[in-house]
Amino acid sequence: MFSFLMGFVACYSYAQKPSDTTVIKIVVDSINREVDRAVVKKNISYMQKHFSTDFKFTHGTGMLDNKESWIGKAQLTRVQYMSREHDSINVELHNDIAIVTGVLRVVLPPGGNRYGYAIRYERIYRLNKNVWQMISHRTFAEWDIKQ
């Protein structure tokens, strides 16, 4: 059902005028969610498509990643996630730039030191050749979550 909805939204969005901000916000929100599902599934081609070549990732610890280093870490077999799901998302549009804020809830595999964590973030997407690509991710807060 989700795949059908994504296909419908994607097709519908191309038929709309660029000024139809509601549809564009839905598309950006969907891509934002799918990027993290791609990390869980290790869908490298999806990540390659939706992270820009100049992507910068500022972790809550201050550690920095670029496109190559973040995708490289995500594809390691020792890096596992049960889920990476979003909540409280807001999409703000500025022509070919979208600013996305929200909370990402990450659940880790059983048997580790913690169940999971959540972060408050800001992500910036840029429309590049008809593809929304993330150019920046900044984590502003992180906290542990319980089962």
Task: Give the up-direction half-sphere exposure of residue 85: CA atoms within 13 A in the CB hemisphere.
Answer: 6
Ordered domains of the chain (ranges, CATH): 2-145 (3.10.450.50)
Cα Rg of the chain (Å, integer): 15
Beta-strand relationship, 64-66 and 83-94: unpaired
pLDDT per residue over 89-106, tens digit each?
999 999 999 999 999 999
Average pLDDT, the chain: 90
Stretch 57-70: mean pLDDT: 96
Dist. CA 136–CA 124, nearest whole Å: 5
Residues contacting residue 88 through CB under 8 Å, at least 6 positions apart: 101, 102, 103
Place of tokens 């939204």: 9
Of the candidates 6, 9, 23, the residue with the CA atom closest to the CA atom of residue 93: 23
State the pLDDT at residue 147. Answer: 85
Of the candidates 73, 75, 88, 68, the residue with the CA atom closest to the CA atom of residue 140: 88
Place of tokens 């984590």: 139
* Res. 77 pLDDT band, cuts 50 70 90: confident
* Res. 46 pLDDT band, cuts 50 70 90: very high
More confident residue, 77 or 92: 92
pTM: 0.85
Stretch 108-134: mean pLDDT: 96
Q: Backbone phi, then psi, for 134, in 5-degree steps? A: -75, 125
* Res. 16 pLDDT band, cuts 50 70 90: very low
